[in-house]
Amino acid sequence: MLTSWPAFHAREAVLRDLEQAIRKTPEALDTRFYYASFLRDHGRFDDALAMFESVLAVAPAHVETLVAYGVLLARRGRRLDARTAFERAVAADGEHNGAVANLANLVALDEPERAAALYRAVLARDGNFAPAHRGLCSLNAARGDIGAAAVHRAAGYAAGPFGRRAYTGETMPVNVVALVSTDGGNIPLDALLDERVFLVHELYVEAYRDEALPPHELMVNAIADADRASEALVCASAIAQDTEHNVVNAPHAVAATGRIANAERLARLDDVVAPAARTFARDALPAEAFPLIVRAPGLHMGRGMIRADDPQGLTAALRALPQRDDLIAIAYVDTRSPDGAWRKYRVLAIDGVLYPLHLAIAHRWDVHYFSSEMFDRADYRLEEERFLANPRLTLGTRAWDALGRVRDELGLDYAGIDFALDGEGRIVIFEANAAMTPLRPDDDARFAYRRAASEAVGAALEQMFRRRST
């Protein structure tokens, strides 16, 4: 029998008190704000969003509500709406550190220079504001400035290496220590660990100094990008040796999944095409035949990735990429289908089982779901539906079996494989590692067919984590 979680019932009592207060004085915005905040902490996210919106309908510049609303929107995957909320908060109060730092967090991937300026503006007002230091630590690490990253890491994590994520379950949770990097390269924890089941203690590995670990039944390594976080994975390996419990996605196994290492080992597998890859310095241009793909390590979703079709294109690409001497050159393999479109399939490997997640189709070589034609083409959605319903039949036995060989070679408890098919029915690997987020489909009737596959992935993750925690 599951044991009740006391904090859940304490929040319920607070919610009842706040509901009574709202009935008495419905015009009291602070009461409605706190009510929305408790709804969020209680896991009632849609109700919380609606209550935040009711406050903003009356007070559009209520900064605390705009910030809380934006954080919850980002958590729900509505990044554009979240950005709008943070922009409004900053416009209302440009010296609200929480608003400015949250806006910086949201734009850091696409506008790193603006994010850095926002963080610096916060620190000019409050030199000890830890979230701004943490943001600058990650930004400096991403562009290879190790010294600056170390300075901001020390300031950002001066209070210690631990954090704790919200738990919204009704019964006693499964306690998990999640290993994460201060420098980035982590998979979002809320995409893996259901906060209604797991109480997650974050451990920022580069800031760890042999402190006692929180009580836990399971350790999960959420450091997923071997190219960006190689040093963090070394730290994580040492920490993982100190736990008596199971470790999901052992750091040493993740460390072996960098793009160059993967290109070498996956190319040896039957029916697998893994384009050759190597690093190069900016003053030593790669001599591979064109076209080739040039990318910065640790960036995803099309960021920092450019196709160069000739030497002039390569020169232009280098001007657009970060000033680093560890850029990656990847041989370009044309995977265009006979109908003129490019297709990118994603399959997840969870506890040894393959699960189809999505298919994106577009008339551009760099296919990503968010920029694909899936939103406009019913025939493409029907093709994806067939893939999700029966991936082996859709891909063919040759390709499906090849995916199993990739899964086994990776040796990870959780991983994703992005790939296409060539004209012979082999799989062409774009990426295969632990850094793929199992994004849920939009709440859109056009994509209702995707929900079953997404729910199967969520159930498989919960089952794996529960089983490993016993």
pTM above 0.85, yes or no: yes
CATH of 6-156, one of 3.90.1150.10, 1.20.1290.10, 1.25.40.10, 3.40.1440.10: 1.25.40.10
Residues of the chain below pLDDT 50 = none
Asked if 36 contacts 48 with a C-beta cutoff of 8 angstroms, the reply is yes
Check: CATH 1.20.140 for 342-468? no
Scanning 331-447, the segments in alpha helix (DSSP H) are 378-389, 391-395, 397-410
Per-residue pLDDT at 301: 60
Q: Is the dihedral of CA 400, 401, 403, 404 positive or negative?
A: positive
The phi and psi torsions of 159 (rounded to 5 degrees) equal -80, -5
What is the Cα–Cα distance from 254 to 432, expressed in whole angstroms? Answer: 11
CA dist 234 → 127, 223, 226, 251, 416 (Å): 30, 11, 10, 7, 22
Q: Which two tokens stand for residue 157?
A: 């994590």
What is the Cα–Cα distance from 188 to 117, expressed in whole angstroms? Answer: 25
CA dist 117 → 85, 99, 114, 273, 427 (Å): 19, 14, 5, 43, 43
CA-wise closest residue to 361 among 340, 338, 344: 344
- How do the domains of the chain map onto residue ranges? 6-156, 162-255, 277-331, 342-468
Contacts 24+ apart (CB under 8 A), 356-361: 356/387, 356/388, 356/391, 356/453, 357/416, 357/438, 357/453, 357/454, 357/457, 358/384, 358/388, 358/450, 358/453, 359/383, 359/384, 359/387, 359/388
Three-class SS of residue 441?
coil
